[in-house]
């Protein structure tokens, strides 16, 4: 099976690229973040015409997460929102069961945090703690948690660590919060397991030609239950979706498993 996470930076603005992706990759599940639409605006009909159905948590102009799966594969909403998050209306977490795969998936868009020490930063740490608590509840479930973690786990995941001193996304507090999610959930970072030394960036700023200069971060992850991790045969990004017409600033991250 092929599972994908992708921060699309507005689903409606990105619809052509999303349909292109579905046609090219035929994923068994596509976890989306930053859909940036209301529930009424969610493009269910266009996705259905492409053979996909969706469950989604939509919050309007900010955030928004969704799970897409081919029609008839038994996609079912399992949980919307995260117990203990500071602002549940921000639409940052959704879980779904996919019957034909026999697994649960979670699509997550972690709080950005804005500035270290700010109120949003405190909410980011609180959100990571809520994720860890939920991951522990799901420790016996075969789970793929994918999304924009807004944390670069290691200095290897940052194009130039000296440019991020004092910045969010790289602090020990954030990294520790994310490690705790993986530890308590028994989850493995799929890309890092297969590629211990590659940067594997998933995001590049739109400004200043960052993509072409290689100024990226690896902040989008697929965290896979240890019981599933031996079945991983590949994990990587599709760089072509950071190119061409109206790309998102994030690329899709793809994991393939032999089941």
The distance of Cα 233 from the centroid of its chain, to the nearest Å, equals 19
- Give the count of beta carbons closer than 10 Å to the beta carbon of residue 102: 11
- 124 vs 192, beta carbon nearer DNA: 124
Among 50, 74, 84, 112, binds DNA (CB under 7 A): 112
- CA angle 32/33/36 to nearest 5° reads 115
199 part of the interface to DNA, by CB under 7 A: no
Among 4, 75, 217, 253, binds DNA (CB under 7 A): 217
Question: How far apart are alpha carbons 157 and 195 in whole angstroms?
Answer: 12
Asked whether the beta carbons of 101 and 28 are under 8 A apart, the reply is: yes
Q: Which residues are catalytic?
A: 7, 34, 148, 150, 220, 249-250
Q: Of the ranges 100-108, 111-119, 184-192, 236-244, which one interacts with DNA (CB under 7 A)? A: 111-119
Asked whether the beta carbons of 237 and 231 are under 8 A apart, the reply is: no
12 part of the interface to DNA, by CB under 7 A: yes
Terminal-to-terminal C-alpha distance of the chain = 6
Asked whether the beta carbons of 199 and 232 are under 8 A apart, the reply is: no
Question: How far apart are alpha carbons 181 and 134 in whole angstroms?
Answer: 8
Q: Of the ranges 22-30, 55-63, 65-73, 180-188, which one interacts with DNA (CB under 7 A)? A: 55-63
* Helix or strand holding residue 231 (H, E): none
| Structure-block tokens of residue 239 | 């760089």
The distance of Cα 5 from the centroid of its chain, to the nearest Å, equals 5
88 part of the interface to DNA, by CB under 7 A: no
Among 5, 9, 171, 225, binds DNA (CB under 7 A): 9
Question: How far apart are alpha carbons 159 and 258 in whole angstroms?
Answer: 32
212 part of the interface to DNA, by CB under 7 A: no
CB of 188 to DNA, least distance (A): 23
249 part of the interface to DNA, by CB under 7 A: yes
Among 96, 128, 190, 219, binds DNA (CB under 7 A): 219
CB of 2 to DNA, least distance (A): 23
Question: How far apart are alpha carbons 100 and 65 in whole angstroms?
Answer: 22
**Interface of this chain with DNA, residues 61 to 80, rule: CB under 7 A:** 61-62
Among 45, 172, 197, 207, binds DNA (CB under 7 A): 207
- 85 vs 97, beta carbon nearer DNA: 85
CB of 181 to DNA, least distance (A): 17
What is the DSSP track for 87-112? -GGG--EEEEEETTTTEEEEEEE---
By CB under 7 A, name the binding residues for DNA. 7, 9-10, 12-14, 34, 36-38, 41, 60-62, 111-112, 114, 120, 148, 150, 168-169, 203, 205-208, 217, 219, 246, 249-250
């Amino acid at each position: 099976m092929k599972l994908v996470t992708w921060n699309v930076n507005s689903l409606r603005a990105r619809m052509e690229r999303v349909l292109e992706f579905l046609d090219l990759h035929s994923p068994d599940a596509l976890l989306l973040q930053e859909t940036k639409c209301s529930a009424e605006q969610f493009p269910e009909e266009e996705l259905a015409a492409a053979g996909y159905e969706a469950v989604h948590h939509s919050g309007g102009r900010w955030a928004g997460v969704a799970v897409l799966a081919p029609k008839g594969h038994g996609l079912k909403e399992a949980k919307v929102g995260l117990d203990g998050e500071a602002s549940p209306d921000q639409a940052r977490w959704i879980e779904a069961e996919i019957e034909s795969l026999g697994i649960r998936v979670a699509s997550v868009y972690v709080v950005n945090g804005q500035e270290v020490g700010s109120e949003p930063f405190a909410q980011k740490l609180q959100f990571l703690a809520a994720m860890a608590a939920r991951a522990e509840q799901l420790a016996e479930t075969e789970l793929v948690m994918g999304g924009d973690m807004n944390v670069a786990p290691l200095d290897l995941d940052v194009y130039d660590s000296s440019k991020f001193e004092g910045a969010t996304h790289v602090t020990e507090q954030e990294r520790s919060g994310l490690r705790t999610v993986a530890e308590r959930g028994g989850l493995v970072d799929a890309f890092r397991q297969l590629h211990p030394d590659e940067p594997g960036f998933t995001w590049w700023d739109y400004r200043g030609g960052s993509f072409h200069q290689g100024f990226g971060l690896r902040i989008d992850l697929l965290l896979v239950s240890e019981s599933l991790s031996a079945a991983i045969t590949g994990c990587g990004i599709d760089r072509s979706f950071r190119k061409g017409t109206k790309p998102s600033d994030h690329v899709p991250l793809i994991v393939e498993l032999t089941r």
